[in-house]
Chain A
Amino acid sequence: MSEPFEPKIIAFVCTYCTYAGADLAGTSRLKYAPNVRIIRLPCTGRISPMFILKALQKGADGVLISGCHPGDCHFTHGNYHARRRWMVFRALLDFIGIPPERVKYSWISAAEGVKFAEFINSVTNDIRKLGPFEQYSQLIEQTQAPASL
């Protein structure tokens, strides 16, 4: 019996809402799956589609993006801009064959520690079921050039 597959997940979150929500999950001592690595940005408006591609290049089986609920953005409309961008980028990934199930989006406020923990758990489970993103890792394997900095 092989061990169950543990996905690698990279999350991009805004500092004012979701990052604070993740901190709240911590101070509330909630427990969730340890598969996610968080990268903190000032605002969801700062999250570029390039980040998602680079996360996939680093072997992420799933990518999470999360920020303030509409209307709550610290920067007033960064999340509205982000929402449009994701709508478009999601369709593009889908058309290219990168399953939208591997890139998840959510709104999590600074007060939603519970939602954060549940979100991480459910996404980890979902990606676990999808299995490793083999097609993309094949792309990477075929790529001899190391990641350039």
Chain B
Amino acid sequence: MAKIGVFICHCGENVGAKVDCTKLAAALGDHPGVAVSVEYKYFCSDPGQESVKKAIRDNNLTGVVVAACSPRMHEATFRKACAEAGLNPYLCEIANIREQCSWVHTDKDLATEKAMDITRSMVEKVKRNNKLQPIEVPVTRRALVIGGGIAGIQAALDIANAGQDVVLVEREPSLGGHMAQLSETFPTLDCSQCIMTPRMVEAAQHPKIRLLTYSEIESVDGYIGNFTVRVRMKSRYVDIDKCTGCGDCITKCPAKKISSEFDCSLGKRTAIYTPFAQSVPNIPVIDKANCIYFKNGKCKICAKTCQCDAINFDMPDTFVDLEVGAIVVATGFQVQNNSLYGEYGYGKYPDVINGLQFERLASASGPTAGKIMRPSDGAEPQTVVFIQCAGSRDPSKGVRYCSKICCMYTAKHAMLYAHKVHDGKTHIFYMDIRAAGKGYDEFSRRAIEEDEAAYIRGRVSKVWQENGKLMVRGVDTLLGKPVEIAADMVVLATAIVAQPDAKEFAKTIGIGYDEYGFYNEAHLKLRPVESSTAGVFLAGACQSPKDIPDSVAQASATASKVLALFSKDKLEREPVVATNNEVTCAGCWGCVLACPYNAIEKKDIVDRSGRVIKRVASINPGLCQGCGTCVTFCRSNSIDLAGFTEKQIFAEVMGL
């Protein structure tokens, strides 16, 4: 038998002035199942809350309705008070008679009548509320960080330095990502490798970090606190335990003319190689596609050279199964293929390069040892044209969004060039200079004022070759005139785009992505480092184009999220989750498709002999966020949502 207590709050004059609280209390007092119906000036005050608690104890109430302000204000307050009085907090509901009644209506009789409806309806709901307990999910205190660029390294170090285990997975042979390729970094012009390599070494040597390079994620199952992940460790053909990293094999390898990915095709590498000199780990891999032995069955010079017997041509891929509680996705970006812009001649003229290639030219460890030499003949270019937004902010050919980092790195390129080629000329075609960030505007001003970069506001229509020069035709929109520049080299500030397999990978881990393949955050403003899947976090440029400071900041933010998750043995969640009645479930699995959180799985029910006798949907309370979309979809009415059950809502409507 229901014994509901109704507590009508005047909220000073806020409710009282427009709702006749005495009449309301009397009306509710007559409502079936209501044991107590009282009014008071401020129930949220300490004496107010005490009176609620006392009423619960004195009357053995089975449910509480507080008719007052919005549940968004004080639902938590009153639920806590109920819990203190020994009543399950989920047996307390708020009837909103302030924001949605007294404050918005002028006629006292009508407002009172509406308040009665609202409160009665809520009493009917509360009669059907169930005692709910917070959901407890065990947490495996080990994090998986996917991607060994600066974002991944930062996240891994932050988590590890807090004493938690981390597995850092990188698909390339070395840590480093794009940052390792950069020359100097804006806005301080410190050498990228000088600040990056110590981080790489720290990550590799950290006792709490297990490093898996040249490895890819094969599958991810489970849910927050309890993921199982399978990692494929691609065969290096070099035994990582035996190799000392002496590099003799690399020196002796006869296949020397392979275009280096790390140097963006501006340099060459061998078939057995490390991507760059400071690679971490400093263990080479054999590029099977270009290795002479793998192609012709003869060679093995590396194996003969190796004094540690580390080379094994029969080495298979191996798999590692991991149990982790949280996942940080830091899979980074790629630069867009410039050949989209045929009129700029990328791919046709060797001296038209992209920004990342310029980084390699300017890098002291790059193919030209930091000397600016144009790719066609190695000559020092005297005039360089930079074209910004070569792909970004161009819905017709490129991408609609701003790649965010190009304004800054182009200014940096102009400076680096000016510092290395003292009498060189730079021209920069731009749409807008977007230099928001600490020290950024000052930096781009310096490029203009000290290093004499000539900024031309306008787009380039065409680049062609004439008399050994690259002719750049564009427009100066400030002067309203066409411009033609004879350049020795053209650098395109190419758009930053998602990794080629970003969407596929998102499906592997079960997170959302946008139309471009960048990963979706749970809330753009308030939950920017969480994915929509609980326990999976996003760091760096896999979420959107980002510079180093932003990537590092975001990575540290993910670490704090992971550490918060790891701060308890068990994770407590609001019990507003869906449950499925497996007896009545028809197993159509529409809910599996409809669920925005991949929280519903297909489940086979088997008999003792293991024969499948029924197939049903199974909802994982660890992943369910309680939206209820599945409930509405379910034709057999098998799914229900705690806190907003079918019975509760039915009663609310019928109570009106």
A residues lining the B interface (CB < 8 Å): 10, 15, 19-20, 22-23, 25-27, 29-32, 34, 37-43, 45-48, 51, 54-55, 58, 74-78, 81-82, 85, 117, 147, 149
Contact status A31-B104, CB under 8 Å = yes
In the complex where A26-B100, A42-B641, A42-B644 touch, is A37 in contact with B121 (Cβ < 8 A)? Answer: yes
Interface size range on B against A? 35 or more
CA A78 to CA B594, docked complex, whole Å: 9
List residues of chain B with CB within 8 A of the CB of A42. 576, 626-628, 641, 643-644
For the complex, is B534 an interface residue (Cβ under 8 Å from A)? no
For the complex, is B126 an interface residue (Cβ under 8 Å from A)? no
CA A38 to CA B656, docked complex, whole Å: 10
Of the residues B99, B106, B111, B653, contact of A51 by C-beta under 8 Å? B653
In the complex where A43-B627, A43-B628 touch, is A37 in contact with B117 (Cβ < 8 A)? Answer: yes
Contact status B627-A78, CB under 8 Å = yes
* Minimum Cβ distance to chain B for residue A110 (Å): 10
CA A32 to CA B99, docked complex, whole Å: 12
Number of A-B residue pairs having CB atoms within 8 Å of each other in the complex: 117
For the complex, is B651 an interface residue (Cβ under 8 Å from A)? yes
List residues of chain A with CB within 8 A of the CB of B96. 23, 38
CA A25 to CA B523, docked complex, whole Å: 24
Query: Which residue of chain B has its CB nearest to the CB of A54?
Result: B653
In the complex where A34-B114, A39-B649 touch, is A23 in contact with B512 (Cβ < 8 A)? Answer: no
* Minimum Cβ distance to chain A for residue B650 (Å): 6
In the complex where A34-B105, A42-B628, A42-B644 touch, is A26 in contact with B98 (Cβ < 8 A)? Answer: yes
Q: Which of B131-139, B441-449, B629-637 contacts A (4 or more CB under 8 A)?
A: B629-637
Contact status B654-A37, CB under 8 Å = no
For the complex, is B110 an interface residue (Cβ under 8 Å from A)? yes
B residues lining the A interface (CB < 8 Å): 70-72, 96, 98-101, 103-107, 110-111, 113-114, 117-118, 121, 512, 520, 523, 532, 576, 594, 596-597, 625-629, 631-633, 641, 643-644, 649-654, 656
Provide a sorted-by-A list of 27 A–B residue pairs whose CB atoms are within 8 angstroms.
A10-B656, A23-B96, A23-B99, A27-B99, A29-B103, A31-B105, A31-B106, A34-B104, A37-B114, A37-B118, A38-B96, A41-B644, A42-B627, A42-B641, A45-B628, A48-B631, A54-B653, A55-B653, A55-B656, A74-B627, A75-B625, A75-B627, A76-B520, A76-B532, A77-B629, A78-B627, A82-B632
List residues of chain B with CB within 8 A of the CB of A78. 596, 627-629
CA A31 to CA B650, docked complex, whole Å: 29
List residues of chain B with CB within 8 A of the CB of A147. 654
CA A46 to CA B601, docked complex, whole Å: 19
Q: Which 3 A-B pairs have the closest CB atoms?
A: A26-B99, A46-B628, A45-B629
